[in-house]
Amino acid sequence: MTMDLSMQNEFETWVETGQPPLEEQPILGIAALMTTAAFVDPVAQVPIFDAIAAATLASNDSAQRAAEITEALPWVKTGKPRIALPRPLWDGFWNIVQAPPLLTDGELDLTLQVVALGDLYDDRMLDCCEEALLEFDGVHDLIAQPEVRLTTADLEKYPTDTLATELLTMLNSNGYDIEVIDADNVVLPGDYPAQNRTNRRILQLHDIWHLVGGYGFTGPGEVAISGFQMAQFGQNYSTRFLATVATKFSNHTPMVMDMFLSVTFDGWRHGRATRQLIAVPWHERIADPISKIRTDMGIHPIDSNAMRMMDALMPAA
């Protein structure tokens, strides 16, 4: 099933005005609100995701969810002045959404497609993304630090129970690289220190956070850690990934949308409850066991029934 052009046009209006019909379209409406956070109003992403997280945790009833979200975000009922997104951005979004969701194979392809949507941002969106990142104290701390990049060689010759060895083993066993995307290719022209620094930084930290945070290297694990990363430092890539995949599920497999939302917002709540980790000097901790890092930093691994259930439903690789 794919949305026809009329439904796509309606969805675009909901997103651009921040006014999805949550009672009439409870599944697609939540996806639209997430898409507003991703592409229209990144500065409002924290209250938007907090509102959805609270409402979906409190009730399965669509009317109750709509009421709770509207109470937290009154403008959902009244709408905002419409902000029209660039047509190429919408076209790129729909190209991804209309293809069936893939959470077992093709994850790198999906990642690269979602990353490429950022190339279609206009100056307004880039400015909004920068402002959203600067809402986080950890981002300010990161910008003030000298940049340090780990290499694969830096992970070698450590004892077996260390973060370095566990990370290297995972990378080698999956054929991954410590930077799946070249960090020098994510630099934006212009004065965007928060985006440029965090974009490069998370390429180094994503797999480290997988291990330290207890996120599996599976489709559901990637969904959950996207919620975690977004909560940790306002990363727009995570917001747009979650919004795009939420719209995919709403479009193709709405019956699993609640499970997807549970996985997403379990990661979000975990990220909100964990100290900001973006500016931690991780290169100084690679010789430590993960258990020690968790104890020292007060990090509890994620405990998500929804993630375990979704993992169990995924076909074996």
What count of other Cβ atoms lies within 10 Å of the Cβ of residue 87?
10
Contact between residue 107 and residue 219 where contact means Cβ atoms under 8 Å apart: yes
Cα 290 off chain centre by: 23
Separation of alpha carbons 129 and 198, rounded Å:
11
How big is the chain, counted in residues?
317
pLDDT tens for the 317 residues of the chain, in order: 578 999 999 999 999 999 999 999 999 999 999 999 999 999 999 999 999 999 999 999 999 999 999 999 999 999 999 999 999 999 999 999 998 765 444 566 788 899 899 999 999 999 999 999 999 999 999 999 999 999 888 999 999 999 999 999 999 887 777 766 666 766 788 899 999 999 999 989 999 999 999 998 888 999 999 999 999 999 999 999 999 999 999 999 899 899 999 999 999 999 999 999 999 999 999 999 999 999 999 999 999 999 999 988 876 54
Which residues, other chains included, contact 188 with Cβ-Cβ below 8 Å and sequence gap of 6+?
A: 126, 195, 196, 199
> Is the CB of residue 65 less than 8 Å from the CB of residue 20?
no
pTM of the predicted structure, to 2 decimals: 0.94
The pLDDT assigned to 105 comes to 44
DSSP state of 74: T
- What is the reported pLDDT for 173? 87
Which of 236, 240, 231 has the alpha carbon at shortest distance from 194?
A: 236
Amino acid sitting at position 145: Q
pLDDT of residue 313: 84
Residue 75's pLDDT is what? 96
Cβ atoms 279, 142 nearer than 8 A: yes
Question: Contact, 236 vs 120, CB < 8 A?
Answer: no
Cα angle: 28, vertex 34, 38; to 5 degrees = 135
Confidence at residue 101, expressed as pLDDT on a 0 to 100 scale: 64
Burial annotation 113-130 (CB, 10 A radius, 16+ → b, else e):
bbbebbebbeeebbbbbb
The whole-number pLDDT of residue 104 equals 47
How many angstroms separate the CA atoms of 230 and 138, rounded?
13
